[in-house]
Structure 1
Amino acid sequence: MIAVTGANGQLGQLVINELLKRTSKENIIALVRNPENAGTFSEQGIQVRHADYNRTDTLKSALKGVEKLLLISGSEIGQRTAQHKAVISAAKQAGVALLAYTSLLNTDTSSMLLSAEHKETEAAIRASGLPAVILRNGWYNENYTGNLDAVLANKAVVGAGGKGKITPAARLDYAEAAAVVLTSESSHAGKVYELAGDHAFTQADYATEIANQTKQDIAYKVLNKTDYQGLLVQIGLPEGFAQMLADSDAQMIKGDLFDDSHTLSQLIGRPTTSIKTSIKQALTRA
């Protein structure tokens, strides 16, 4: 049995869909915090189990009989290490044969604030002794195209990434990689995969591509980290989240979100989705 935590989330839903292409529905378990919101899985014949990172009592029963587990990192920054450790402990008790964890690109060398909880989680996995594979996911194309309406409204891409190159891929690309690892006949235990897109670009390149596709003048306005954080707060983001986003942008300059190993495309057996393609898809849906 293959179980996926956070199955109701954007990445989790895509992983479930990719698993359905590779194994039977009877072999898949969707682990969710709110089972009442998982009706689509039930309609597909997929077993749904209640698994709340903050309620250890739900985790023991949720992982019963699970052979392979995908631990999708939680979204509650500042609480994730404790939440992840609870899942790891439950997986150990349940005798899970393979734990896959969605970490962050270049976690071991990254200076990004976002990397801290991933480092702690990876350390907890190693300490547990569980057979594990670490999927260090890079940035998603959707991190950018999700804000495309604001870019078009303001005629500008605003950021603190300077000339730093990044290598994002589409969320679906990462979901497919996870499904490949979870359904592979060969063991991936002990592997650490740095997963990123095939195509590098800067934030200025991103602005140029939007301009090319929309035939509009789109500027790139580069700010320092402090000013960018202030702007994010001004538009309504919580202070802590704004700090995290501004820091992530600033660390692009150091290459924390860059990788040219092409490991992701090798795993999925095809080129990753370019930002050009993701922009085109986003504009079509708009």
Structure 2
Amino acid sequence: MIIITGASGQLGHLVVSSLLETVPASAVIGLARNTDKAQDLADRGVQVRHVDYDKPETLGPALEGGEKLLLISANEVGRRVPQHQAVIDAAKQAGVSLMAYTSILHADTTPIGLAEEHKATEAYLKASGIPHVLLRNGWYTENYTAQIPGALERGVLLGCAGNGRIASAARADYAAAAAAALTHENQAGSVYELAGDEAYTLADLAAEVARQSGKPFVYKDMPCEAFQAALKEAGLPDGIATMLADSDAAVAKNALFDDGRALSRLIGRPTTPLADMVKAVL
């Protein structure tokens, strides 16, 4: 039995779908805080169970019978460490034989502030003694393509990433990698630095959008403080604006660049090209 946390979320849902290409639905369990949001998976034969990281009493029943477990990092930044630790403790108690965790690219060296919770989770997982595999995911290309419709209206993409190169990949690519790590043999102890096959700057992204849309569109680089202020002015909460500006500043240092192609090797195909992602959103 393979258990996927966050099965109703964007990544988790894609992981389950990817697993179902090679694994019978009866061998897959999807965990969700709101099981109604995973009803379509239940309709496909996946066993859907309720779980709440903040209610440890739900974790034991949720993990019962699981041999392999994918812990998709929780979305509550600032609360993820205790939530992840609760899942790891429950997994050890349940006797899980392999645990995969979606971390961040170059978690041990990256300057990105988001990495701190990932590093703490990796350390706790290592100390637990559970055989595990680390899926250090780079950026989703969707992090940028989702901004295109609104930015295209203004004709400008804002940021403070300078000429930093970004080796992102589609969310579906990372989902396929997780499914592969859960089904391939001898994965315990593996650390995958997962990134896209091609790298681009935000200026390159803007040029691609302009090319495909036929509309004027450029990237405007600015000081990080100014970018953070612009995000707040656009209505983003202070914490989110700070996090995004911090991430962009790290991009300027090539924190989201990796040319090892571990992702395409793991999934057995090239990662989704940036041009295809832009085309899809346009």
- State the match for 2:110 in structure 1: 110
Q: Distance in 1 between matches of 2:38 and 2:180?
A: 23
Q: Which runs of 5+ in 2 are unaligned?
A: none
Higher mean displacement: 160-169 or 35-44: 35-44
- State the match for 2:75 in structure 1: 75
Instruction: Indicate the SS of the match to 2:136.
Output: strand
**Paired residues for 1:19-168 under 5 Å:** 19-168=19-168
Q: Distance in 2 between matches of 1:143 and 1:215?
A: 22
Deviation at 1:183, TM superposition (A): 1.2
Instruction: Indicate the SS of the match to 1:78.
Output: coil
Instruction: Indicate the SS of the match to 1:254.
Output: coil
- State the match for 1:187 in structure 2: 186
Summarize deviations over 1:204-235 as a string: whole Å, max 9, x none: 00000000101111111111111111111111
- State the match for 2:262 in structure 1: 263
- State the match for 2:17 in structure 1: 17
Q: Distance in 2 between matches of 1:37 and 1:163?
A: 40
Q: Distance in 1 between matches of 2:223 and 2:92?
A: 44
- State the match for 2:199 in structure 1: 200
Summarize deviations over 1:68-108 as a string: whole Å, max 9, x none: 00000001000001100000000000000000000000110
Q: Distance in 1 between matches of 2:217 and 2:41?
A: 41
Q: Distance in 2 between matches of 1:37 and 1:217?
A: 39
Q: Distance in 2 between matches of 1:20 and 1:36?
A: 20
- State the match for 2:243 in structure 1: 244
Instruction: Indicate the SS of the match to 1:102.
Output: strand
- State the match for 2:215 in structure 1: 216
Instruction: Indicate the SS of the match to 2:272.
Output: coil
Moved over 6 A (4+): none
- State the match for 1:226 in structure 2: 225
Summarize deviations over 1:92-146 as a string: whole Å, max 9, x none: 0000000000000011001111101000000000010100000000000100111
Q: TM-score, normalised by structure 1?
A: 0.97
Instruction: Indicate the SS of the match to 2:11.
Output: helix
Instruction: Indicate the SS of the match to 2:133.
Output: strand
Summarize deviations over 1:180-220 as a string: whole Å, max 9, x none: 11111x11100110000000000000000000101111111
- State the match for 1:253 in structure 2: 252
AA aligned to 1:205 is D
Instruction: Indicate the SS of the match to 2:7.
Output: coil
**Would you say how many aligned residue pairs link Structure 1 and Structure 2?**
282
State the percentage of identical aligned residues: 52
Q: Distance in 2 between matches of 1:94 and 1:18?
A: 25
